[in-house]
Structure 1
């Protein structure tokens, strides 16, 4: 049970614990980056509870240089997962990098990157009769892509997964899809109920909150048109006879992440379009399926409510005050509550949830061990930030950067460039570990986020 950690972190009131316990609210997000919780307090609390390990939802792709501590802006993964304060929960519903927008430019799953060198993979998808090579004109849905390696076609998901599992160190990789497939009957029942209720509501947004996209068997994915069709449903022109049939098909793409060979063997007999589970539903399931206790056997949900801790990065958590991330937006919270409300009412396995969002980007302030001068310079900044008070971090850092940014290494400054991911510029870099400068643990997450936001503003 992790509800007590709200007391440790001083977040019980922010989480609306009384409303959650009473069942008057079913989902409350708590963005720690907007609260004055010291970084060290969170890390110490995680160290004190060996069963509690928040997921860090990274993407399918290139983790070799992340594990080696030389991945530039992605080094926050190294700090969290290598430090033992989280584990990489790999989200695979992403797309290969491409000449057009929509691909994953951060983890670049359509390539292999090691020691800063990128090897572009030959990619293949199904054309109705066989697998054909694709160019880089469009981003392709990773679970439906194969790569050519040594003259053989290998599921792209499996290729990256095996490379991740071979990495040394404290990286306890887990597939995001694994707890969903392990609980497939329950997840299917939940989605069936939600689809039936969405149809009864007559609200198009209700479907988009559950199924956000559809993917064709050739790997091309786009927003979809899903609507009731008699007693069934029609998705981009394809009829599904019932909510359960549609829910079961949603699970096919999920299962492709954990059983890719079996999925590709069945590909010719699958429907022409597959529904893709939404990010909103995914976030709810992170909590309900207890991904913050990755090594604890499945059991009854936490009572009277679930306290789910989660390391979110640039999109999910952002860096307040400049960017707050998508999870705490009012529109997102409304969608998440629209999902959790009926699940809590109808399923014993579901409980109200406090979703405690830990901003991973705070660790961008921890330079690599190969840059000791950065450690000293940032310690100076932290002294200024702490002296200025919790609300002044952003402005204090902006002022400090005006006179001190050139004292920082090119590597550290490069972490904050907009749109950057795992470096693939061919520059050789030594392995490193993130170093916490003096005063880092004493910063509150609000102060750390304010500082990172200022770095992004000036250096992005």
Structure 2
């Protein structure tokens, strides 16, 4: 079978020779900066039933996403409902609040269905019991209980139960991927912590443990440093790297078995370490989340090619913004993690991380908006006729005469900072429709077009 990098024409961009030789252990490839036709990628995925890139959505309100009426979140519908990826749910998020830092896109602190928002009473531990919290500060979802019909229910379980009832969506959970390989993950983190201590570089710890959460659900950045043979998380002592690594897994386990976690709360220390996003991204690849139905086995050889649907933060939309994963500082941090893992673990191989920008599907209107479908078909014809480098400018000029012709729903997709709509408007269920020539666009062209829409309509 043709290697996926060859099928996509990305072997050179992925520096495959350097990965195969071990000269490099991590290379990101952002499809949005390459002339890879969208149809080529989708066809390649269809030809390999074992390959299904994760779309890392968040714990929260997926009901209207599954129904195709979630506005700016409809790219999830196109990717997951369309069979081009699957929802891999990341749960280390915070409830929406009056102050910044909460998840305003998926709004896990409430229930949204058919455009209507029901605010949940939220409770967290105060050291002796669960008490109701106001909305002043965002709260770490794994440590929150919601009051439903007079009973406290783990917020994680509440959303999982609702998501499990959605037809056609097979949700998988990032935390379960980690706990299924808990021994390996703990061993890896133990080694990385020991290496960080040997380096004497404070940033090395932040690349592994980025935050700490109090038992009342409030999260803040933290300082980890070696102390003799052990480690300090702020003023909390751990006698060894392994004991600290095991503590990191406590909050991961809280997402898998919330009831057991809450039963342990009285005996837990006041501060719990939280695994970093950098390490999380590496584990997406090393734990083979792009082959969700393949049993665990030896890693791909000579390197792992991980395809991943990223959204606004992770992938962005070049040229307006590239997302965090391909920033030079991020890549340095990711290589600092993969270098020792590849050296010391048979289960780890160098990684080509192919980032697929999910936001390209914002150019696929809902089936309830035929006028929008026709308009975008016209734009795509113009993009195909123009120089590929001119896609952004071509779209900006086209929008000067056509932006107001789109439906309010499609225009609202590109509003800044928006998530699942909760304005009370009841919308018909829909499916995203690929306008004519959508698959002929390259990811570079589609990203440039989305960036132009955001500039004009955001």
Please state which band the TM-score falls in when normalised by the shorter chain. over 0.9
Give, in whole Å, the separation in 2 of the partners of 1:390 and 1:357: 20
Within 2, Cα distance between the matches of 1:202 and 1:12?
36
Gaps of 5+ in 1: none
Counterpart residue number, 1:369: 367
| Matched position secondary structure for 2:167 | coil
Separation in 1, partners of 2:266, 2:216: 11
Could you say which residue in structure 2 is the equivalent of 1:344?
Answer: 342
Which residue of structure 1 aligns with residue 231 of structure 2? 233
Q: Specify the SS of the correspondent of 1:450.
A: helix
- The CA distance in 2 between the partners of 1:151 and 1:389, in whole Å, is 61
Q: Does 1:41 align with 2:49?
A: no
Q: Which moved more, 1:224-233 or 1:13-22?
A: 224-233
Length, aligned pairs only: 458
Between the aligned partners of 1:444 and 1:17, the Cα distance in structure 2 is 22
Aligned to 1:198: 196
Residue 157 of structure 1 is matched in structure 2 by: 156
Displacement of 1:19: 0.4
For 1:221-370, list aligned pairs within 5 A. 221-370=219-368
How many angstroms apart in 2 are the aligned matches of 1:438 and 1:311? 23
What TM-score do you get using the length of structure 2 for normalisation? Answer: 0.99
**Which deviates the most, 449-458 or 234-243?**
234-243
Per-residue Cα deviation, 1:8-66 (whole angstroms, up to 9, x for no partner): 00000000000000000000000000000000000000010000000000000000000
Q: Look up the match of 1:139.
A: 138
Partners in 1 of 2:388 and 2:180 — Cα distance? 43
Offset, 1:260: 0.7
Q: CA RMSD for the aligned pairs?
A: 0.7
SS in 1 for 2:178: helix
State the alpha-carbon separation in 1 of the partners of residues 145 and 281 from structure 2. Answer: 27
**Counterpart Cα distance in 2 of 1:82 and 1:22:** 38
Give the TM-score, by structure 1 length.
0.99
Q: Paired residue for 2:124?
A: 125
Counterpart for residue 454 of structure 1: 452
The aligned counterpart of 1:74 is 73
Q: After TM superposition, what 4+ stretches of structure 1 lie above 2 angstroms from structure 2?
A: none
Report deviation, 1:230: 1.4
Q: Distance in 1 between matches of 2:74 and 2:62?
A: 10
Deviation at 1:142, TM superposition (A): 0.2
Which residue in the other structure is 1:109 paired with? Answer: 108
**Which residue does the alignment assign to 1:413?**
411
How far apart are residue 389 of structure 1 and its match? 1.9
Question: How far apart are residue 229 of structure 1 and its match?
Answer: 1.2
Q: Does 1:432 align with 2:430?
A: yes
